[in-house]
Amino acid sequence: MAEASQSNLRQFSDGIVANNPVLVQLLGMCPTLAVTNSVENALVMGAAVIFVLTMSNLITSTLRNLLKPHVRILIFTLTIATFVTIADLVLKAYVFEVSKKLGPFVPLIIVNCIIIARAEVVASRSGLGRSLADAFGCGIGFTIALCILGAIRELLGAGGITILRDLGWHWHIDPKTFEPHAWVIMIMPPGAFLTLGAVIGVVNHLRSRGAAKGGA
């Protein structure tokens, strides 16, 4: 396979930039639209997905030689469901307020296409090192994409950004001057689609320019 020569580091960085699961692969759109109404929600969702993706890839890669074709998907789903449930319990125990805000979207990580896609494409065919690099890369890429969207939507829609009130941190950006002009639609569903479309447009533009220059 052509990918065999690709280093693990490349696999990792691809997940963040060149093959970003949200902005390039266009997977996991549902949580991307739903939980990017604030940076805090985006961060916690990202952390949960990194955890689940890592555990899923780890277990799938370890067991890859035992996977019979007709039970593969079943095993992926079983693994993902278990770790999402663990993540949900951990969030409810340690960041109760945020987990209430994320609501049904944490259990919905089970059907997030990114995780099952990486299990199928990478973890079930590659060794542990490559699978873990991929998990971290895609997980971090997912989190970064969500935070970019979250920052845009929260700044324009709520007039400021507040992070991690639960854990006692508090990082506020300039709410007073901007708040009266806040564009409320940005934190509602239409704003999600508008922001996502705009960001993907910019990303595609940058990618086509990179390709035209004879880059990767």
Partner 1 sequence: MQKFIEESWLILVMGAVFAVLLAGVQTSLAPTITVNQAKALSEAIREVVSGTDRSEEVKIEGYDRKVYRCLGPDGNLVGFAIDAQGIGFADKIHLVVGVTVDAGKITGLKVIENVETPGLGNKIADAEWAGQYRDLDPGREIVVQKRPPKPGENEVQAITGATISSKAVTKIANEALRKVRPELVKLR
- Look at the block and give the residue holding tokens 């019979």: 68
Q: What do you get for the CA distance between the two ends of the chain, in Å?
A: 19
Considering the complex, what minimum distance in angstroms separates the CB of residue 195 from partner 1?
Answer: 14
Considering the complex, what minimum distance in angstroms separates the CB of residue 31 from partner 1?
Answer: 14
Q: Which residues bind partner 1 (CB under 8 A)?
A: 37-38, 63, 66-68, 70-71, 74-75, 78-79, 82, 85-86, 89-90, 92-94, 96, 100-101, 103, 157-158, 184, 187-188
Tokens found for residue 212 = 């035209």
What's the length of the chain?
216
Q: Are 95 and 166 in contact (CB under 8 A)?
A: yes
- Look at the block and give the residue holding tokens 């890669």: 61
Residue (5 or 65) nearer to partner 1, CB: 65
Considering the complex, what minimum distance in angstroms separates the CB of residue 66 from partner 1?
Answer: 6
Dihedral sign from CA coordinates of 60, 65, 69, 71: negative
Residue (17 or 110) nearer to partner 1, CB: 110
Tokens found for residue 63 = 């067991």
Q: Tell me the one-letter amino acid at 210.
A: G
Considering the complex, what minimum distance in angstroms separates the CB of residue 14 from partner 1?
Answer: 29
Residue (86 or 113) nearer to partner 1, CB: 86
Dihedral sign from CA coordinates of 141, 104, 80, 82: positive
Considering the complex, what minimum distance in angstroms separates the CB of residue 199 from partner 1?
Answer: 19
Name the strand (E) or helix (H) holding 172: strand 171-172
Name the strand (E) or helix (H) holding 44: helix 39-62
Residue (18 or 75) nearer to partner 1, CB: 75
Considering the complex, what minimum distance in angstroms separates the CB of residue 149 from partner 1?
Answer: 14
- C-alpha to C-alpha distance for 141 and 14, rounded to whole angstroms: 9
Residue (22 or 80) nearer to partner 1, CB: 80
- C-alpha to C-alpha distance for 21 and 13, rounded to whole angstroms: 12
